[in-house]
Structures are given as structure tokens and as C-alpha cells.
A and B are shown apart, each in its own frame.
Chain A
């Protein structure tokens, strides 16, 4: 056990985590040049394209230092605020962390919150300044930031470049020298921490775990502490480039277990695996049921595709236990699903995977958070869909979830960021200077305000420099109203939203304006109205097309005319017919992208 080192990497998106990890794998001959596909760890196409990690991964390396053989387990963690619980479990499985900071960018909000998490778990932090080869590197400034943040010495910071290979040996040595070997008792009752799982169509669910205490052997009868379910350990092993089966894994090891589990929901990240015969007394601390934060409807464009969509969602869920969904129906969109996501990125990923991997054409409705509605009869309802809101006369009060947000930015952008946050009903809690030109702003904000376009706007007003992180801080009473949109007098449930009373008129007006742009002119006037209850608060009209006739069909060229009409008709097939009005697919999401 003394020759095992378990570590993770903490880095902001694009700070070069995956490239640096690849270099470590190469240097330890874990992968040969032939097997080396850029960024081995991010193996989903989507992960590679976006340069972000969505699933956790683990990979084992062998490293010889001063004549002794060491086993290094790298646990790669997701890099987005939506997945912070998963990150916390991966961190809990490690004894050390590489803190990678892009020397051209400096420390970002995400990095800080994950770093704090690592420090809380007593991880040994090895600071690394990456991308040292770049012309735009600012080593002195970033070094100051790191020293300030960690209270470490300058010479403890390793200067590296994933691109040139600078500092790679030094990092490997630091992992061996500075990170403690795992603690734990191989003779104690078995305790394995589950930090992720993946679905394999031949093997079922493969669970990734770290053995905290005890020893597990192939064939053992084990129990998942929190679900209480029992399985045989059909196969156990370690994760190198592929899975390598082993007869036995001992405390400190990181590996996998295959036990015939078919449904991803049975494997909960953070759960503890123990022996049925000699169970541990307590589960490993920190387990939480993952709860979705953002909800939206997903509907097939063609209502006949409903069953296909269900099958696709079920398959997606095999690999993504945090996705929840239940069937619902909308007067406007027909049958679909109400889905719960960890956050906006998670929602986008699900949408994109439905499109890419399952070729599904879907409409996603306006996302909502979950509200607590207290009725006059003293019931509490969890409402995450505007259509589920009870009649206004039955409501005593509504509470909405709040987040505590940390925004780190260059000081030049403070003004515009503050007005953005103010517009989102943010409350400034404090501001701290991290260095002379970087500041951390702490805000309390309603989560409902940030689920939509907050992150995009923050990025654009700060020219991409500001970073953002948050955690849920509780519920607060709010004056919320349901804002309805009517097309030609018919309320379109899929366009309803819950919004703060003070903003309702402005938002209603802008939604109407936006819809006027998004909905093409048709053969009759279309009235677009925003209403609260029966009160109309805004109105726009799309005038009917009065003339579209093409005068000529030159010289018998009928093909051209036909092709043009056929193309237009096909385009319309991708629109949703609501009452008599044809609404483009993108309108349902974009209607809230107000500038």
C-alpha cells in the first residue's frame, strides 16, 4: 500500500488538464504512441469536441522512482459546476491533487471551489503552472496568485507544458514524494467508495471504486450500503488503458467491479460497497442522492416519435444516472417528457446526445428550477413546471431556490458584471481582491435567474475572462407569477414561464418581440400576447403574408420551381403546428434569450 498514490487533477476548462494527463500516461508507458489518440481520457466525442470532461475516469500508471515501483492512480474528474457532487466523490477517493493553472489565464472560480473541496478532504496539493511555452504566459503574476491562494512556497510550484513535455518528470516525482500513500486497514470490514459507473452493452454497469478499507476478492457477495442491494463480484480489476481483471483488490487500490447490474440507477455515486457476511458499520461519509436542479420538457417534433424518444432516453440514462425523466403531455406539443438535469450544461449535453447518438428531432422547452409552493391548506408542493402551478387563489406563498455564486473576473469588467447580477436579482455579499487586478465577487441569486442565459452573458460581457461557480444556499420567499404566452388567443403551455412579478411586464414584452422575430409570417395575422392570469400585459402582431406569388416560370423550367417549393415545404415540416400557427423548433428555447 505504501507504493500506491491516488490523485486527481483540478483545473479549469481549457487549462490543459487532458493534454497534461496524456503526457503522464506516455511518460509512464501506460499507453504506447500507437494507442495514443489525442486526449485518451475524454473518450466521448462530445467531450473531445468541447474539451470538457463529463464522466469521471480512472487510469493506473506504473512508475519507477529510485529503484522502487509505484502504482499511480489518476482519477479524472468532470470539469463543470453542474457535476460538482461527482467531483467531490472523486476527490474523496484521492490523497493528492494536481492543481493545474493555465499560466496565460490565471486562477478561475471553478478552480478555487474545487481546490477548497480538495483542501477540505486533506488532499496534498501540487501546484502546476501549465502552458509555460506560450508567448502570452504570465508566470510571475500567476505564481503570485498561487502562492497567495495556497500559502505555499514559490519553489513548490512546478512549471510545465503539456505540449512540450516540460516538467512532466518533475510532476511524477512530486506525486511519489509529496502525496501520502492511502491509509486504511486491509483486515478491516470492506469499504469501497463508488465514484462513478459506466454502461457497457455487453457487461452491464461497470462500477468504479476505491477500496478504503478491507480486501475484495473475485466472487465475493457484496452489498451496496445505501441501496441495500446485494450482488456477486463477478469480476474485479484495475483500470489501465482497458480493464485488467484481478483476483483480489486491497485497500488503497482503485479499480472496477462488474456484478451483473443492468440499471445505472442502482449504482449511486458516493455509495459504499461492503461484504454481506462482514459488513462495515457505517457507509463512507458524504453520500448524497443526486437531485436534478433544472427541469425542462423534451418533446419529439413529430408526435409519432414519442416511443422512439422514450427508448432513446432510457438508453441515455444507462450511462447517465443523474438524468431523470417522466412522461408528461402538453396541449401544444403533445406527448413528451419532463426531464431533470444537474444544470444547463448537462441539459445541453443530453439534447446534443439525443440528436447525435439517436438522431432524434426534439423541442426543448424553457428550463425551470424547482419551486416550493405553500398552499392555503398548508400543503407544500414541489413545482418545476409552470403548468403544474395551482390556481393563484390557492397559493399562500412561493419559495424559490437561491444560490451563492462566486465570480472571479478582471477588475475592468466589474461594472458590467455587477449590473448583470443586479438585473438577475443578485445580492452582493462581498468582494475580495485576489491580486491587484483580479477580484472575486460573491453573490446570492435566485437560481431561476441563472438557469437560462446568465453564463453566456457573463462570458460575453467579460470577453470570456470571468469564471463562475455556485452552490445551492437554500430557499427564499418570492413574488412569482406565471407568465403565459398566447398565440391567436390560445395559451401555449410550452411557452409559459415562472418569473418574478417585478420583471414580468418587461419579460412579457420582450418575449412577444422575440417571438415576432422567431415565427415566420403566415397567411393570417398572428397575435402574440403575454398574460398574467387573465390580464394581457403585452402584445405584438405578425402581419399576414399578402403576396408571395412568383410571376414567371421561364422557358419551361418547372424543376427549379418545384425544387424551391419542395424545399420550403420540408422546412415547414420541422415546425410545430400550434393551433393554426406554425412555430419553429428553436422558438421554444430562444424565446427567453432576451438581450
Chain B
């Protein structure tokens, strides 16, 4: 099993919190799509020949800024160089204000069967602070329209611990999200990443970060509301109705290989991880001139072990001890068990049926726990 990730690093405007790579000069779009198709060809042998490709994911940036011919061009390139017959999940990230009949038809035409909508909040004043270009009303209409077009696997992104968010508005946002009958909800705690506008504003005390107590409370409300509504928390930030887990994102946690195409995209093939240059212009230039366009790291045994722990523990199933032993040997298993002990005692980790997973209490401090469990 394997996945393909396509990065579309264009945005009409930058959101103040986002540190993901994107470019606001849309004039480069055509050149970028051409280059991307060239990379698709160049890397057609990246995945092992026996890997069946089950998921395809268009992320961004804003993939919904692409027009019909862009999508077709990319899809054609992919189907020429990769075997797409076994695809079960094709996801496209869309901005609510880009959603219209044309876009939805286009997505249908490339067999897209899953939409991921960056809604973030159902309050306009919160959206304004985030720097989003859509309104709450547009978000609601976009979901409705997609459902009318027959999309039956829709995911929405929400954010919490926003500077001007209250317990009340967060509850309301969740309530509205649930009422929309979407199959999947990703909810991210706002983080202040160096280099972003928000980070600067926090440093300059223009905005204040939510304190720990309040952010815990918001997280508890999230888990409680969605669980009650029938959603399963299958990963720290991801919730779904039964059988609607994101297959593509799950591959990140499940140690399956994936190829990331486009500027700043990450790839993993068990032996190494690599990432493309995070600059549209340099990425295009290097590929056009047949020069190297990525950095690569070959993983040591320790790094493989660390990655395995970091990714597995984020999931609701947790770390599979059987698999850990098979992959890394008895010694790593006993190191892991030993490192787990203090957390098992304090009820932050629980061990059951050969799986070690985070408890509700443990999820809050999972970074410290991961730090203890990894090996350096």
C-alpha cells in the first residue's frame, strides 16, 4: 500500500497563522503545473513496483485555485506514469469560497471522492483574525453544494484556541459542524510558528496566546462534543464517523510509503525521507535545468525506531508491540517498555492486547511522552 501527495503551493493571500509553504504570485501557476508534471515523470520509479497506490491527495496551499485544465494535466501525467487502478481515496483540499459547480464537476471528472474543506470557524470575526478569505455563510453553502453534487466523504478543518475565540463560540462552531453531516473533522490547536505573522504579533504582545488551562478545556470540549455525536478520535487531531478515517493521512502514521510531488512536498520510502525545495521558483528552475531539487535523509535504525514511535503513538490504536519487535528487535521492545513505565503508572499510557496507547490524560502531554520514549 502506498500514497501520492501533490502539493499546490498557491494561495490568494497568506493566513497569519500558516507556516506551510505557499506562494501568492498566481502567475507562476502554469509553469509550476508543467514542472510538476515533469517531476511526476522523473520520479515514476520512486515507489517500489509491487506497492499498490491506494490514495491520492491534493494539498496546499490551495488546490482549489487550479482550473479544470490544470487538474486534467496533472491527473493525466499521473495516470501515464503511475498505476492508479487501485486508488480508493482521492482527496482534494478546497477553500469554501472556491467551491462552485464547475470546480465540483472538475473534481468528479478526475474521480475525486473526498473533499477536505478549510473552514476553521463558523464565526466571521474569528475568520477575519485568521486571515481567511471566506465567510461562515460561504462555508455552509459550500458543504451543501458539495453534498448536492454527490460528495459523500467530506472532511472539514477546524481550529481552536484562536486569539478571540471563546468557549461559547467554540461550542457553537462544533455544533454547526456536527449538524452538517460531514464524515470527517480535523481540529487543530492554533500554534504560533516562528516566521508567521501570528508569531510576530504574539512576540509584540498584539495578540495573546490562550493559557494552558483554557486550551485544555477547549480540547476537552472538542473530544466530548464529537465523541457524543458519534465521531471516533482515531488520531490526536482527527475525528471520523466509523469507516471514514482518512486513508491517506493514516498512511503517515502507519509507516507506509508515500511520494510527495511539488515544491516542499515530503516523501518516504521506508529507507529514507526526502523533501523537495520549498520555493516555487527554485523548484521549477532546478527541475527545468535537470538539477537536484530535493534534500534526502537516509534513516538510521534509531531514527526509524523514533519515527515509528512518533507516528504510531499519535493514533488511537497506539504502538503495536508485535510490530515493534518484528521491525526493531527484542532490545528495542524492552527499551520501549521500560521507558513507558512511569507513564503507565501515572495513567498516561495504557497497555492492552499488545498495544500501547495514549490515554485521554496522556494525549495532552504527548510531546513529553514521545520525548521520553524515543532513543537518541
Residue ranges of A at the interface with B (Cβ–Cβ < 8 Å): 523-524, 545-559, 561-562, 565-566, 568-570, 572-573
Please tell me if B258 contacts chain A, counting CB pairs below 8 Å. Answer: yes
Q: How far is the CA of A555 from the CA of B20 in the complex (A)?
A: 9
CB of A547 within 8 A of CB of B258, answer no
Contact of A558 among B216, B265, B273 (CB under 8 A): B273
B374 touches A565 (CB 8 A): yes
Q: How far is the CA of A524 from the CA of B374 in the complex (A)?
A: 20
Cβ-neighbour of A552 out of B191, B264, B371, B374 (below 8 A): B191
Contact (Cβ within 8 A) B371 A546: no
A559:B367 contact, CB within 8 angstroms: no
Task: State which of B20, B215, B275 has its C-beta within 8 Å of the C-beta of A559.
Answer: B275
Q: Which residues of the partner chain B approach A549 to less than 8 Å between Cβ atoms?
A: 189, 236, 363-367
Find A556's partner among B212, B260, B368 (CB 8 Å cutoff).
B260
Cβ contact within 8 Å between B268 and A546: no
The answer on a CB contact under 8 Å between A562 and B268 is no
Pull 11 A–B residue pairs with CB atoms less than 8 Å apart, ordered by A. A546-B365, A548-B365, A549-B365, A549-B366, A551-B236, A555-B5, A555-B266, A562-B306, A565-B306, A565-B371, A568-B371
- Please give, as numbers and ranges, the residues of chain B lying within 8 Å of A557 by CB-CB distance: 266, 275
Most central of A523, A524, A558 by chain B CB within 10 Å: A558
Known: A549-B189, A551-B237, A566-B376. A556 touches B364 (CB 8 A): no
Distance to closest chain B CB from A551 (angstroms): 4
Give which listed residue, B267, B310, B363, contacts A562 with CB less than 8 A.
B310
Is B114 engaged at the interface, CB distance under 8 Å to the other chain?
Answer: no
B210 to chain A, nearest CB (A): 10
| Interface residue ranges of B1-17 to A (CB < 8 Å) | 5, 7
Q: Are A566 and B306 in contact (CB under 8 A)?
A: yes
Number of chain B residues whose Cβ lies closer than 8 Å to a Cβ of chain A? 45
Residues on A with C-beta less than 8 A from B267 are: 556
Quick check: A555 and B306 within 8 Å, CB to CB? no
Given A565-B370, A569-B374, is A558 in contact with B237 using a C-beta cutoff of 8 Å?
A: no
Residues in A whose Cβ lies below 8 Å from that of B98: none
- B283 vs chain A, min Cβ distance (A): 15
Residue of A whose beta carbon sits closest to that of B251? A556
Contact B310 A565 (CB under 8 A): yes
User: Does B252 make an interface contact (CB < 8 A)?
Assistant: yes
Residues of A within 8 A of B173 (CB): none
Known contacts A546-B212, A566-B374; A554 and B367 CB within 8 A of each other: no
Tell me if B213 counts as interface (CB < 8 A to partner A): yes
Q: Is the CB of B163 closer than 8 A to any CB of chain A?
A: no
Query: B353 contacts which chain A residues (CB < 8 A)?
Result: none
Residue of B nearest to A552 (CB): B188
- CA A545 – CA B273 in complex, angstroms? 32
Segment 271-328 of B: residues with Cβ below 8 Å from A: 273, 275, 297, 303, 306-307, 310-311, 314
- Shortest Cβ gap from A542 to chain B (Å): 13
**How far does the Cβ of B110 sit from chain A's closest Cβ, in whole Å?**
20
Give me 13 other A-B pairs in contact (C-beta within 8 A), A523-B365, A551-B189 excluded: A524-B346, A545-B368, A546-B365, A547-B219, A547-B365, A549-B189, A552-B191, A555-B260, A557-B266, A559-B266, A561-B310, A565-B310, A566-B306
Residue contact B314 to A553, C-beta cutoff 8 Å: yes
CB distance from B86 to the nearest CB of A (A): 20
State whether B266 touches A548 (Cβ < 8 A).
Answer: no
Q: How distant is the Cα of A565 from the Cα of B307 in the complex, in angstroms?
A: 11
Instruction: Tell me whether A556 and B370 are in contact (CB under 8 A).
Output: no
CA–CA, A549 and B215, complex, Å: 11
How far is the CB of B87 from the nearest CB of chain A, in Å? 18
For the complex of A and B, list the 5 residue pairs with the smallest distance between their C-beta atoms, beginning with the closest.
A551-B189, A548-B367, A551-B188, A556-B266, A547-B364
Partner of B191, one of A551, A555, A559, A565: A551
With A548-B366, A549-B236, A552-B188 in contact, do A558 and B311 touch (Cβ < 8 Å)?
yes
User: Once the chains bind, are A572 and B303 in contact (CB under 8 Å)?
Assistant: no
A547–B5 touching, CB < 8 Å = no
A565 vs B311: C-alpha distance in the bound complex, in angstroms? 13
Contact A555:B7 (CB < 8 A) given known A547-B215, A566-B374, A566-B376: yes
Contact A554 B212 (CB under 8 A): no
A566 to B373, CA, bound (A): 10
Residues of A within 8 A of B275 (CB): 557, 559
